[in-house]
Amino acid sequence: MVKYRPHRGALCDAMAEMRIFDSVEDMFHYIVEDWKPYGNPFDIGDLTITCDEGKDERINWKEGRYVCTRRMREKIFDTPQCIGMCSIES
């Protein structure tokens, strides 16, 4: 099970959009589709997740990982940019 929340200004706003997926691949497909209204700024191959950054006590996620993109339209980043958070839990 993979929990995902997009990056938002407030945690409550991000959690209102939280989704649960069967796999990281399913999550990546959802993210690409969710961003399509903004002009298809990246593809699945541009997305990465970080190593476990630790438990998030605020929302009781067992782990927290950054969901990042290496590219936004024509701009390729030296450091992937965070677009959300996920937790991979069994």
Reply yes or no on whether the pLDDT at 27 is more than 90. Answer: yes
Give the N- to C-terminal CA distance of the chain in Å, as an integer: 6
Q: Which residues contact 9 (CB under 8 A, 6 or more apart)?
A: none
**Spatial separation of the C-alpha atoms in residues 3 and 18, rounded to whole Å:** 7
User: Where residue 90 falls among pLDDT bands split at 50, 70, 90?
Assistant: confident
Reply yes or no on whether the pLDDT at 19 is more than 80. Answer: yes
Give this prediction's pTM: 0.92
